[in-house]
Each structure stands twice: as structure tokens, then as C-alpha cells.
Chains A and B, each alone.
Chain A
């Protein structure tokens, strides 16, 4: 397993946000965590990335426990996150944002090469590379956030609500990119409120409710599950 999360408990002050959650991500997979607002999805990703520390439980990445490592070390081991709300650096230029994505790398030529790659994947970013990232549209900002995370050459990419606040057309575009990134060999852990969309790109899914996993299985199985349909797919799938 590339990532195994084993019965972690995470608190926000006194709030028990994540209860005994366990799940796994194998190399090459797209795994999704779905669930309503407040189910603890973002908390889980923040904990994997090292921004939050679990009170108990272990997180193993490539067999090594990482739950007590600082965030910057976790990134160095090959695990990057596209955070909720994009969190791009609005006062930095597009290019500087991408360079910050490659902050831990020292291979200058490789970085230049990957800058070119991101610009060919996201031509809009190339046009705007010297603009402040704050001037970008929502969709462009999301693309920048993904491109920035990819600049660290992660083996595992965590994506937190990449569809949030985007038009349906842009959402399609973003999900096409996610599939593309996965086909290039990057394992993806995707957190989404839009369950149908998430399950349509994922291999497997875990359904969360108030900090607990209530169901898991293959994405195709979950997509047709009556309970999931009723709760998350608006019954229309």
C-alpha cells in the first residue's frame, strides 16, 4: 500500500472531528473520500499532510509512519496536496507560485522542464505567468493550484474539493486533468462533495458521515448503491 491510514482520531480543540478512520490507497489508484459538509474529509487530508496531528492512530506512507512528521518533511517524501479553496499565493505571480511548488527541489533543469510541462498542460497559465495569481479567475486558480502541487513531482496527490465554486464546464475540465495526471502515474486521493463526479473518476471510494467511514467499496458498486444514491446523488444517478 502506498498510503495506509489506520484508525486515526483527530480533534479540533474539543471537537472530535475524525473518529477511528481507516482506509488505504494503493499505488496507481484514484481513491475518493465522499461525504457531506462536516464529515471530516478536509481534516483527514490536513492530517495526512501534517498540518494537523492525530491524537491516536497511525498514517503510513510507503510503509513509514508519518503522522508525527512536520508538513514540510511529508511533502519531501512525495506527497503533495491541492488544498480546499485552492490557497494559491495571490500576491505572488503565477510563475512564482509554480516555483514555490518546486521549493524542495534543487534540480534546476528538471524544474525548468516541469515548468514547461505545466504550461503545456495549462496554456492559460503560460499566458498569465507574470501576473499576480490573485488576478486569475476561479478556474485558472484551481488549475494553478493543481499545477503548483505537481511541481513537487508527487507520487501521491491529495485533492480537496477541486470542483468547489466552478462552473460545470470547468469541473469537467478539472476532472479530465485529474484523470490525465493519474494516467501519468500519479496516485490520487480525492475528497469531494460531488459524489457522482468523484465516483466517476475513482477506482474505489469511502463514504464518510460525521467523522466515520460508513461504507466503502469499488466506485462502480457505490455509484449504484441505493443508500448512496438517496443520500449523496440526489437520487438522479
Chain B
């Protein structure tokens, strides 16, 4: 039973990693940029949701508004910071992404202060059930299911819709896509919007599990989601989902089964996974080896 509870914990944190990893992987797929500011978009989403909830707005509309807000915010960041660098070296864009990350963290500190704010306990009043000696809140299960539903919807959008197909076309060959009459700028904006919206959704799920909002809260989940994206194969959408869940479960199980006092080791395990993936299969679980374009 203890194992089952830990597995549920792992799936919960894993679904959060997966949602954030999707943003990394989609943006990488389309403009070959590791958007290191992505974790901080999640932080912005958390503050947005917190402000809305504190002003008496119910959770569902608060979540939707926060997602829409982050989507717009993501588009603006891309237009201002990354678009001017689209023809520059990838290193310039990467350094800019780190700059945007620092900017967002410090701006949040300026606006909201550095002290942690408490996120309202959404599980209050929700039923929970017993698994052995542990109780699991129904909201935990709902959030996992919801995350999976969102991911399936995204996968259907990308593989079945015209806009999603155009997105895959742009990610494979930008110039050829433009020759088809696809507006590449719009497609890139759409990618940032979806990725950032998913990050805001992840932020709320994250705050359900760890109800604290700080300017730096996006850093660690951001890095871990990046590892999840690399694990699954960066640029591959189902890879990000699978990578996120695997990483979450591994993290939860290490935390559960190593002696207390050493729980920080679970982070070490996660980073070790990154190193092993890069050594053994850099293209990730679902990634295909990169062919160089001639």
C-alpha cells in the first residue's frame, strides 16, 4: 500500500513535470531553443492564480485566466526577446533565455517580495480515501487524470488538426513551410502560447502539492522538466509526457525508500539520469538520432 501511495505521489509530480516538459520540447522542436525561462513562466502562472484566488475568484476560472494570461505572456516574451535573434547563433538565443529567466525571477521579487506566499489549500473540503495507513485526497487523483486528458488533447491537436500539422511542418523545415503559405511567425507564437498555458496549468497542480509561491519556485521544476524532456527525446511530444512521468515516479520512489535525512539525494538521482541519458542515448527514449541537414 505504501508503494501504491508513493506511486500516486510520483504520478502527481510526474504529471507536473510532463506538462512543463511539453513547453520545453515544443519550443525546442520549432525554433531549436532550450527556453530556460520556461520554469519561470510557471512561476508567473502561480502568482497569477494566487492573486485571482485571493480576490475570491473560484479555482476553475482562476486556472483558465491564469493559463490565458501566461499564453499571452509567452507570446510577448518570444516577440521581444527571441524573435530578433532567430537568425543569430543558437548560443545567443540560449543566453538570452537565461537572461529572461533572471529577469522574471527578479521582477517577481520586486513586485511580490521575496517572502513565500501561501497558496490556498484546495484539498480542503474535498473527500479523500484510505490506502493502508495513508490518506490520498481525491484532488490528487483528479489532477493526474486532468493532466493526462490535457496531454491527450494536445497530442490529438498536434497530429490531427491543420494547425498542428503546420506546426510539425514548421519544426521540420521552416523555409519549406513558408513556401506552403504557412505563417511561420504565427505558428511560433502559437507554440509559445500553448507551452506557456500548459506551464500555468502545471503551476496550479504544483501549488496543490506544494502550496507555496516564491519568485524562485519555477527554477527546480523547470530544470527537472527539462531533464524529463531530454529523457523522452527533446522535440518529441509524447517523449516529454513519458519522460515527465518516469522522472516523477523515480523521484518519489527514491524519496520514499532512501533513509530519511538523505532525501536530498533524490535530486542527485534525477540529475544522474540526465547524465546517463546524455552518455548512453543523447536522443532520448523516443528521439531519433539527429541527421544533419545538408
Contacts and interface: CB of A to CB of B under 8 A. Distances in A.
A89 B178 contact: no
Most buried by A among B172, B176, B177, B182: B176
Interface string A140-154: 000000001100100
B168 A148 contact: no
Contacts of B179: 49, 51, 71, 75, 80-81, 83, 87, 149
B184 interface: yes
Interface residues of A, number: 27
B173 interface: yes
Given A89-B173, A90-B172, A96 B181 contact: no
Nearest to A158: B179
B172 A103 contact: no
Given A71-B178, A91-B172, A92-B172, A99 B162 contact: yes
A168 to B, nearest CB: 24
Contacts of B173: 87, 89
Among the interface residues B173, B175, B181, B182, which one has the most CB atoms of the partner chain A within 10 A? B181
A152 B180 contact: yes
A158 to B, nearest CB: 9
B183 interface: yes
A88 to B, nearest CB: 8
A12 interface: no
Interface in A82-102: 83, 85, 87-92, 96, 99-101
A221 interface: no
A89 B172 contact: yes
B165 interface: yes
A51 B184 CA distance: 12
A88 B177 CA distance: 9
A92 B168 contact: yes
Given A72-B182, A99-B162, A152-B181, A91 B168 contact: yes
Contacts of B250: none
Contacts of B294: 85
Nearest to A51: B175
Nearest to B288: A91
A104 B186 CA distance: 14
A90 B177 CA distance: 12
Contact of B165 (A72, A75, A92, A149): A92
Interface of B: 162, 165-166, 168-169, 172-173, 175-184, 294
19 contacts: A50-B178, A51-B179, A71-B178, A71-B179, A72-B184, A75-B180, A76-B181, A81-B179, A83-B175, A83-B179, A87-B173, A87-B175, A87-B179, A91-B168, A99-B165, A100-B180, A103-B166, A148-B180, A152-B181
Across chains A and B, which 4 residue pairs bring their CB atoms closest together, nearest first?
Answer: A75-B181, A104-B181, A87-B176, A71-B178
